[in-house]
């Protein structure tokens, strides 16, 4: 399931289009995840998770920055995301199933805001990209 040149180009192009809004969409994706999959909230007892919360926005920006970094390093995701993987595995100890849930909600968010760009081919490219990110995040699970 390697990303083809066309798929990489599609993901990069969409990310350029998202511009400075990546944080907004990542925050919305988080909000959707907490609502649709309440079990994910168990990892955030220290945050105010009410919709619109400044803490969720701050976390959304962190997620956005990580994803933007991933887009810039499509050729070497495991290395680029190694520190994040270590964090999620060793310190945060997140069950990897949750990464998929956030990934799905991010797709829903992007589909909602960019329906014209969200063709089946773009959808497939993004799905592949996210599954590679998730795979890289899970590297430290060994």
| Residues binding another protein (CB under 8 A) | 28, 31-32, 35-37, 51, 104-105, 107-109, 111-113, 115, 118-121, 123-124, 127
CA atoms of 106 and 28, how far apart (whole Å): 8
CB of 41 to another protein, least distance (A): 12
CB of 48 to another protein, least distance (A): 16
Instruction: Tell me the two tokens of residue 14.
Output: 């969409």
CB of 79 to another protein, least distance (A): 27
CB of 74 to another protein, least distance (A): 19
Long-range contacts of 16-20 (CB under 8 A, 24+ apart): 17/114, 17/117
Q: Identify whether the C-beta of residue 108 lies closer than 8 Å to the C-beta of residue 97.
A: no
CB of 59 to another protein, least distance (A): 15
CA atoms of 101 and 37, how far apart (whole Å): 8
CA atoms of 50 and 72, how far apart (whole Å): 32
Q: Identify whether the C-beta of residue 99 lies closer than 8 Å to the C-beta of residue 137.
A: yes
Whichever of 27 and 85 has its CB closer to another protein, that residue is 27
Q: What beta strand segments (E) does the chain contain?
A: none
């Amino acid at each position: 399931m390697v990303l083809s040149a066309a798929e990489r180009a599609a993901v990069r192009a969409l990310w350029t289009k998202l511009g400075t809004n990546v944080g907004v969409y990542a925050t919305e994706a988080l909000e959707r995840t907490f609502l649709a999959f309440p079990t994910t909230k168990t990892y955030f007892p220290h945050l105010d998770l009410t919709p619109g919360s400044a803490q969720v926005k701050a976390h959304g920006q962190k997620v956005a920055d990580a994803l933007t970094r991933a887009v810039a390093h499509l050729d070497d995701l495991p290395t680029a995301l190694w520190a994040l993987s270590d964090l999620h595995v060793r310190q945060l100890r997140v069950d990897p199933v949750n990464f998929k849930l956030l990934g799905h909600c991010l797709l829903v968010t992007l589909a909602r805001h960019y329906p014209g760009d969200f063709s089946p081919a773009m959808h497939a490219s993004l799905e592949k990209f996210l599954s590679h990110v998730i795979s890289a995040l899970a590297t430290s699970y060994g």
